[in-house]
Chain A
Amino acid sequence: MVKKTFSLQKNVSRFIDNGQLRRNLRFSMDTMKQTRAALFSDKSEFETLRKLGQSIRQRSLDKLPELLVQLEEKCTANGIRVHWAETVDDANQIVLDVINQHGSSRLVKGKSMVSEEMHLNSFLADHGVDPIETDLGEFIIQLAGETPSHIIVPAIHKNKAEIADLFHKKIPDTPYTEEVEELNAIARKILRQKFFEAEIGISGVNMAVAETGTLCLVENEGNGRMCTTLPPVHIAVMGLEKVVEKLVDVPPLMRLLTGSATGQPITTYVNMITSPRKPGEKDGPREIHLIILDNKRSKILADPQLRQTLQCIRCGTCLSHCPVYTRIGGHAYGFVYPGPIGTILTPQIEGLKNTNDLINASSLCNACEEVCPVKIPIPDLIRRLRNESMSNKGSVEGAGTKRALSEMSAWKAWKLINRHAVLNRLSGKAAAAFGKQLKGIGPLKAWTSCRTLPKFARKSMLDLADENGVSDE
């Protein structure tokens, strides 16, 4: 679903003055940062671990084609049916076909960002099926008719009172309460019944192990286990980059994932799904379908630098640490993946034209790179995408979309001034002389919305150095 009119700038204006949102985000992100920092308190140990995580992910991507073939073989041998989807439309259709084969209408769903990428819920709704989101955060935003604003904590933009109000208004016979235990109990009671009735469970996949054909799923509420064990049919959706080579690759990545995401050494539930119910077994689904989605990922893989985007394990810690995300929240990013990872991933999936000024959603402060558990050089990739947006020779879809004569000329002039010392000195003097008169124009107007104008010195450092006889050799 391409939002043709996306403009980060416009979205920012919508969200930035929402004080409640800012306070909710600040509080929650601080908490998430603190719990993560407490777990990874030993810096050298963390550095060692994340280098390992990076190398596992890079090796997986280097061998991706063969690992995917191996994964399909192993899964198939285990009794899991594997489906390949090049586009989100393909993936949605596969889900719908499985639903139709079984004549099912009662679906429960665990948290999955790939299903968000597919806009699966609205697709299914168009076909008369309404899956129930069972992750508490997802349950809340489904009630509110919203999309996730954070990869890990989808309803983080809402506080207790907002959720209390939502439950009171949207769930019949629900008194207003801000007691967290009571709110949990309300959701739990509804979801329990849905689990019992469900005919199909849909889940995401955190990692898929090629060596064994195992789907790994981490979660804290038990809803993921319910979705993948109670209904007779389980459909798992994953992006094709989520494969790892060996079972031994899982523990370090898992530690990095849960530690970065929620500051937990391990999640409350760790599901390792290797086959449907076998003869003689008393529980588990009778059918498992694995849908492996490309949606531009193979194109990203083909570029040695941009490929690093696919190392991502979706821990969301780059969001929590991002000063931009903390000010505007996930919805301002306009597409499925917000924050720094969204800033690099979304333009590669949706194209640079459709994502417009999204690549400007960064001050390049490097906080994301500093915490990324698999060492994705996010600021470098943002720069690369900015280069692509300005270049006719770029390889990313929509390359050159930001080429505007005014900006191109401005940088050509900048180059000229900075390659010729005499010009440079003159331009400095001009700025000192005329700076104040430029207040209402272009960039300076933006600057002076909350700041006074920079004060150009009467004598530049070059002048002072001359006067003081500093050596020029």
Chain B
Amino acid sequence: MINRTKMSITVCCLALLIVLAGCGGGGNNTAGEEASQGAASTQGAESSQGAASSQGTEAQVILKQYIINNANMNLEEINRRFEEKYPNIKIEYEGAPIDQFVTVIKTKLASGDAPDIFTIGAGTAKDPFVNAGYLLDLSDQPWVSRLTPGALRSATTNGKVYGLPRSQNVIGVIYNKKLFKDLGLEVPTDWEAFLQTAQKLKDAGLIPIGMGLKDQFVTQLVPYAMAPSAIYRDNIDFDQQMAEGKQTFVGSQWEQMMKDYVDLDKQGYINKGALGTSNDQILQLMSAGKIAMTVSLNAMVPALKAANPEADWGMFPLPYVKKGEPIWVSAGPALFAGGYSKTKYPDEVKKYLDFVASQESMKLILDTVQGFSAFTDVTPNLDSALMEIEPSLKTGAYAFLDQNWPATVQPEMLVGIQGVFAGGAIPDMLDKMDKAYNAGTKK
């Protein structure tokens, strides 16, 4: 017994020693790292002031990069190429889970310790960061002139460019071509036809439309796809009118849009129990051929392809129009990243973003994420499904709605749509969105 107790004391003491040693060691490490970083920064400053010709290898600059996890963006390859081209700059890439990204980046920014390059949201999502002075002004960068007008708009706040766009994302109806062919169905081009198609699919024992409404981001996809045709095609200034307080969600086309959206569920066109089903599960059911269509983003296509390489997918714009009317598409740019305004190495950050904006890098990114180009001079190799919807983009497109709203509206809408599907009233939901809009514009 005594032996055992002696032993446990020894163990405890040892443990304590390890802890202390660990602390000491850790401390030394910091000091070392900081010293070397400090040295690097002064050297970096010297070499940029003087000629860059001498001792390029010694002036190592480390750029910290913090990007939302996009497992398939090929970012590591791009960073490798960049480091090859600029041996004195090293990119320290760290991916972040999407759910926690905002929390982490805000904490770091508020504590004055942010990475040099990090993901930012498009449109108004980046405004609070801009207003707090955290983003590097990129307006003078050469790639700005190559952007498509839509991409430029979403990268801009108060007339200045703060982010490098990555791709143009599109919301549309992704469908199983084989199922359509088997049942002799055509791609519908108006709402009436769309509903008939859904009915025929239902009669054939299939789930016509799969929606994983348990995941909040999915709930918005249908109204986003409806709105360009329902609202913006005829009144492009709707958002402007909202901002001026001349327009509200209540009493607008939103009421009919939401009603038609919920009707899809009431008619049994959307999978039963949509609120309890996740997007992942929709993807699985769809690639297994049990669901014929889903309203989703272009990124769903490569995911479906990965899940079932043998199936044949197509994508068409959600035809929320009367017969013969032109269909507008919901297309919103996603930003790659912005730079930290207080970075020690603004020039290197710009150099890096410029490298990513190059035709070669952009094509690599777009080919992997299967997104449309945000640059006028980059043409990615897209899947046949995406090529199918591409012409419609030229008919007319409007950005994702939240990109023009105060940041407060979207969270309220996501909760509200779930609430409506759970039996809530549509006017209540729209009223809350109006209130959120007003609360967001106050400051």
A and B: interacting chains: no
Binding site for A on B (CB under 8 A): none
Binding site for B on A (CB under 8 A): none
